[in-house]
């Protein structure tokens, strides 16, 4: 790779690091080619990207970005998965893949400017997805309105039930 190619790669990486607030560094030592291809496909399906790059180029690209504190994770064989969308979806994909293929391991990462350790990564991977969380939030927001509507309907419903009971009683009596 000549100097201009390296410069182009660094510029692209810098743009990616500035544009994405979720980045996970992974150790892929021992990962087979078929597994690496499957990982790339699964990451792409989740709306994220996965790249393997030279550590020196990654370290240059990290300078001046919000992810600069990740420098210590770029030693040895390092792959980077990043997204600007749902960090939970990416964490789930990576965690599930690492369960099936133990050659892939988590080094470190950042989500919204905060370091994410291995335990936090596992916790993030077990959270429900963004769509599920939004649906739950919507349900919680709708609950007071639904309860109020039930309370407002109760007198009318009760009146109808009393009138029906009175009508049934009159039918029985004659």
Burial zone of 89 (CB within 10 Å; 0-12 exposed, 13-18 middle, 19+ buried): buried
What are the backbone angles phi and psi of residue 54, rounded to the nearest 5°? -70, 140
Query: pLDDT (tens digit, 0 to 9) for every residue of the chain, 174 residues total?
Result: 788 888 888 888 888 888 888 889 999 888 889 999 999 999 999 889 998 888 888 888 888 888 888 888 888 888 899 888 888 888 999 999 998 888 888 888 888 888 888 888 888 888 887 788 889 899 889 888 888 888 888 888 888 888 899 999 888 887
pLDDT at 38: 92
Residues near 136 by beta carbon (within 8 Å), at least 6 away in sequence? 128
Domains of the chain by residue range: 3-127, 129-174
Compute CA distances 12 → 42, 57, 126, 132, whole Å. 22, 11, 31, 33
CATH of region 3-127, choose from 3.30.70.1730, 1.10.3720.10, 3.30.1490.190, 3.30.1330.200: 3.30.70.1730
Whether this model's pTM surpasses 0.85:
no
């Amino acid at each position: 790779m000549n100097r201009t190619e390296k410069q182009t790669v660094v510029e692209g990486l810098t743009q990616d690091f500035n544009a994405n607030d979720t980045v996970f560094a992974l150790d892929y030592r021992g990962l087979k080619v078929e597994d690496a291809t499957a990982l790339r496909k699964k990451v792409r399906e989740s709306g994220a990207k996965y790249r393997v790059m030279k550590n020196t180029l990654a370290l240059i690209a990290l300078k001046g970005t919000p992810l600069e504190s990740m420098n210590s994770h770029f030693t040895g064989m390092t792959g980077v998965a990043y997204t600007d969308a749902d960090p939970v979806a990416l964490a789930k994909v990576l965690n599930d893949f690492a369960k099936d293929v133990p050659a892939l391991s988590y080094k470190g990462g950042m989500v919204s400017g905060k370091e994410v350790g291995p335990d936090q990564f596992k916790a993030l991977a077990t959270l429900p997805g963004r769509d599920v969380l939004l649906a739950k939030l919507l349900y919680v927001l709708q609950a007071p309105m639904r309860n109020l509507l039930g309370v407002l309907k109760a007198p009318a419903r009760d009146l109808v039930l009393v009138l029906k009971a009175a009508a049934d009683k009159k039918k029985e009596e004659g």
